[in-house]
Chains A and B, each alone.
Chain A
Amino acid sequence: MIDISPSVMQFLLAFVVAAPLLGAVAALLPAPPGLKGKSPEQAVLRHGVTVTGVILAAAVALALGFDHDAPARFQATTDISWIPALDVRIHLGVDGISLPLLLMTALLFFLCALYSYFKFPEGPSPKAFVALLLVLESGTLATFAVLDLLLFFLAFETVLIPMYFLIARWGGAQRQAAAWKFILYTLLGSVVMLLGLLLIGLNSGTFDMVALASDNGRELTHTTQLLAVLAIGIGLAVKTPMWPLHSWLPDAHTAAPTVGSVLLAGVLLKMGTYGFVRILLPVTPDGMATFAPYLGAFAAVGIVYGSLACLSLARKGNKGDLKRLIAYSSVGHMGFVLLGIASMTPTGVNGALFANIAHGLITGLLFFLVGALKDRYGTADLDTLAGATGAALYGRAPRLGAFLAFAAVASLGLPGLAGFWGEMLALFGAFEPARGLSRPAFLTYMAFGAFGTLLTAAYLLIVVRRVCMGDPAARPEHPSGGAALELADIQRHEFAAWTPLVALTVLAGLWPAVLLGLTDPAVQKLLAGGNA
């Protein structure tokens, strides 16, 4: 949109990836004079807001300088040799596929830092919290910016340790077990993924994603492609998560602090689906075509399974935890993303990328809201919240209720909001899958998916009814006993953290071209490989 010189663009991208790391180191050092703030805690939290804010600004500048007429081309590229022995190059670049994810990541981290500044989760000192948050940011941003397979693996691994500590130190009940489950499960996935990446790299002689993508798998035999897709696919599927490899996710989301859940759902899950699009589709198209029907089947089952689990959690008397419910809903939503990818058509993949962003915005918002509810009530247990008639947020905290209702309808895919387009396009993709894929199978998956949208609508409406409606006079007892609970409506900082997400959800819903215009050319080139 605006003209920024290539070397500045280069710097901006490298800055976005590296600056959080420097910020993390700085967070561990004592504050310099003049920046001491009211207390060391406040100073370091403010440091977190500043750093993530600067990174967001840099990411926005990057998006503004991005040549929107050529989103299929990698821009702001840097290519330096780092470890010649392993053929690892520091190769960075963004195109229309990674730019939206990069922006969303920077935004969510900024909002999370802002939210923690005002509402710090219970646990040890904020110093380590901010440092870990920034390392996490660097790892996720790097995942979307790197163009080298081994560097991608490195970025993938970087998020594990910070997320482990965020859950294990600042989480809720059962946090140790959940943190262990998270890290062991995803590490196993990513090490298996490494084997696949090595297989590709050694057999084709390069680890460079751009070169591999334009090769389109011509250098690789069919067997190699099959093995590589299997290994890499398992690693990515654990992260995404794909049913039946999802079982780490509900526990991790439930136990994580609010900010951790937002980032897990909003950013970390996207790393998995991004890997499918960026690596598997262009590099190993033959292997992917063989496995696509299975991927589609797992995706369809995941959609229905996630929705059914949510329905069961939403029912009265099942002691459903709201955080867990949203976690399961993520399994369903990511099912749509995977279904779109499995169709291997431009429509489906565009839908998948759109649904990625939409899920990040909407589920991020939902986790913020549920976190706020949990802070107010001391529990996220749906039965306790709802009491006999319902929590009656409309009556008792109308703004909070409105936000929640908005997020819920956005999540169920109301046309005009972001959740609609991605899932619809993914279903369209499944309606007419790529040549060579079995159409009847994909039509079945589409039917499953469509049924899943109905179930999704059902459980989200139940949640809205039980949480937002009800008799405002029937006040629940405070869980710790004592006087009836007074509910505070939305605070200013909450408003600040949530409004951008709401605004973007509406924007993406009303003007999908702003996203699709970026992703579509890149996806076309990706699927065509060197033939484009």
Chain B
Amino acid sequence: MTALTASVLSAPSAAPAADAASRVQSVDWLAITPVVLTAAVALVVLVADLFVPQRRKPLLGWLSVAGLAAATAGLVPLRAGDRATFCLTTDPGACSYTADHFALVIQFLVLAGALVTALLSVTTVREARMPAGEYWFLLLSSAAGAALLPASRDLATLIVALEVASLPAFALVGMRRGDRLSSEAALKFFLSSVTATAVSLMGVSFVYAATGTLHLTQVAERLEDVPGQLDTLAMAGVALTLVGFAFKTAAVPFHFWVPDTYVGAPLPIAGYLSVIGKAVGFTGLILVTVIAFPAYSDIWGPALAVLAALTMTLGNAAAVRQSADRPNSAVRLLAWSSVGQAGYLLVPIAAAAYSDRDQIGSTVAYALMYAVVNLGAFAVAALVARTKPQNRISDYRGLYAERPAAALALAFFLLCLAGLPPGLIGLFAKVTVFRAAVDAGLGWLAVVMAVNVVIALYYYLRWTALLFRAPQAPAEGARTKAPWPVTAAIAVTAVIAVVLSAAPQLVLRFASGGLFPQ
């Protein structure tokens, strides 16, 4: 729906004079099913919330889970990757919504990630007594926005999708009623995010002023020969547009909101932000840089490379400094580590500026790996937080003795994040990123990343080692049974991570082939 409005908004600008009949765009409903279905289920949940009695509220959760599963399944008929809709009637090549392979892969990441988040949330919503209708509506709306973003191919749709993905997230972060930390986190997140989006919007308007179009492909063409007096404007526009997306990716210096927001948010939402939030950010970055602004690659290339180096270094340095005994240190560590990981995600995008080969596939492959194992780590954290609500890293000591399966799964996730065997998929995902950097001649960035991998190993392995230590005190009381949705989320992510480790090609094939139609 948002795509529809956006493209109606943008269409007149590009097609000034045409008769009424040729203005009607035909809509390929199948192509937009995944997004529309998610949004529709969101509305259904919101309305149904008014009529469902209190004790039946969990039904809303299951409806949302089913909706997300159906939306994910809706990607299957599109797998040929040749559909596009909301195209200009005057120029069928310029479409606002394209379901190419890139869009489909990211949509799969977003929807499947949201599905895992929803599984984790079922228990959290019930136990924390959060308002079910609002929670599920917001989660689904945000997922719909995030799913729209990778398919949008004009700047207006892109910004709208970014907002649809972000706005509900602010409210979700503040969901923990009466928790001062939660509202503070929400406010922090909201203010900084809105500023970033506003800056982005200004950038878009500059670009529009310089090129007279919003469609990414047309922007790319017209940026090639911008008139001399508009060159500065275009350049500023390019730089400012990147800010909003860099913020969502949590790249330094737009990272400061991350730890507090993650700590304040309900755990499933923290996991959601760390994976889907980031996916939104780097997808937007890829679209604007690689598709819309290739003409200015000499500007954003070095900028992104420096940004990547700073992001990984700062994120990892802060993660190393987390002391294990502080309350919430586990979530804080995951938050900072996600900042560090964002740095790795940026490397291939920066490399895309320097070489002809399609480098961004490495980002996509890395993001898929990261999504699986990071959501898995958050799922285990959610499980542990049930008995040890302080979320300290030291609470994980001796987890193996208490819950062997969960401890082994977490150890595997952490080693995947660190990129060491037995976490083979993590290792090879890092290799593809390194490969992109070396291929593009960004040797210095590769060396910075190498040092960062070592720093990161220190905190990941410290945590892993703690899992297998003898527990400090004998477990008090009876072991509580894990709720099955959480168990299912851990099991699903663990199985996927193990399967991918045995057959990395499943994910890495995106790193070698071109994801965009040429």
Which residue of B is nearest A187, CB measured? B454
Q: B323: CB under 8 A from chain A?
A: no
Contact partners of A191 in chain B: CB under 8 A: 450, 453-454
Which B residues are in CB contact (< 8 Å) with A124?
468, 470
Tell whether, in the assembled complex, residue B439 and residue A195 are in contact, meaning their CB atoms are under 8 Å apart: no
Q: Is B222 an interface residue (CB 8 A)?
A: no
Contact B421 A157 (CB under 8 A): yes
Contact pattern, A 82-125, Cβ under 8 Å of B = 1, otherwise 0: 11111010000000000000000000000000000000000010
Partner of B432, one of A86, A153, A168, A184: A86
What residues on A are CB-neighbors of B513 within 8 Å?
85
- A63 at interface by CB-CB < 8 Å: no
On whether the beta carbons of B453 and A202 are closer than 8 Å, the reply is no
A187/B457 in contact, CB under 8 A:
yes
- Give min CB distance, B308 to chain A, whole Å: 16
B22 CB, nearest partner CB in chain A, Å: 44
Contact of A183 among B422, B443, B457 (CB under 8 A): B457
Q: Interface residues of B, CB < 8 Å — how many?
A: 35
**Docked-complex contact B422 and A161, CB < 8 angstroms:** yes
Measured between alpha carbons, how far is A192 from B451 in the docked complex, in Å? 9
A161 touches B508 (CB 8 A): no
**Could you say which residues of chain B place their CB within 8 Å of the CB of A161?**
415, 420-422, 461
Residues of B close to A188: CB separation below 8 A: 450-451, 454
Chain A residue at minimal CB-CB distance from B509 = A85
Instruction: Answer whether residue A364 sits at the interface, using C-beta atoms and an 8 A cutoff.
Output: no
Task: Check B420 against A195 for contact (C-beta < 8 Å).
Answer: no
CB distance from A2 to the nearest CB of B (A): 35
Q: Kindly state whether residue A165 has any CB partner on chain B within 8 Å.
A: yes
Q: How far is the CB of B362 from chain A (nearest CB, A)?
A: 10
Q: With A83-B508, A139-B421 in contact, do A199 and B438 touch (Cβ < 8 Å)? A: yes
> Given the complex, which residues of A lie within 8 Å of B421, measured CB to CB?
139, 154, 157-158, 160-161
In the complex, which of the residues A83, A160, A199 contacts B428, with contact meaning CB atoms closer than 8 Å? A83
SS of A interface (majority)? helix
Q: Which of B234-255 contact A (CB under 8 A)?
A: none
Number of interface residues of A (CB under 8 A): 33
Q: Which residues of B contact A434 (CB under 8 A)?
A: none
A85–B505 CB distance below 8 A: yes
- In the complex, chain A residues whose CB is within 8 Å of the CB of B439: 198, 202
Task: Return chain A residues, CB-CB under 8 Å to B458.
Answer: 180, 184
Contacts of B505 in A (CB 8 A): 82-85
| A154 and B424 form a contact (CB under 8 A) | yes
Question: Using a CB–CB distance below 8 Å, which chain A residues touch chain B?
Answer: 82-86, 88, 124, 128, 135, 139, 150, 153-154, 157-158, 160-161, 164-165, 168, 180, 183-184, 187-188, 191-192, 194-195, 198-199, 202, 227
Complex A-B: 29 CB contacts under 8 Å: A82-B505, A85-B365, A85-B505, A85-B508, A85-B510, A85-B512, A85-B513, A154-B421, A154-B427, A157-B420, A157-B421, A157-B427, A158-B422, A160-B420, A161-B422, A164-B461, A183-B461, A187-B453, A187-B454, A192-B450, A194-B431, A195-B443, A195-B447, A195-B450, A198-B435, A199-B438, A202-B435, A202-B439, A227-B443
Task: Knowing that A165-B465, A202-B438 touch, tell me 18 more A-B residue pairs with CB under 8 angstroms.
Answer: A82-B505, A83-B504, A85-B511, A85-B513, A86-B428, A86-B435, A86-B504, A86-B508, A86-B511, A160-B421, A161-B461, A164-B461, A168-B465, A195-B438, A195-B443, A195-B447, A198-B439, A199-B438
What are the 9 tightest A-B residue pairs by CB atom distance, in nearest-first order? Answer: A85-B508, A85-B512, A191-B450, A158-B421, A198-B438, A188-B454, A83-B505, A85-B509, A83-B504
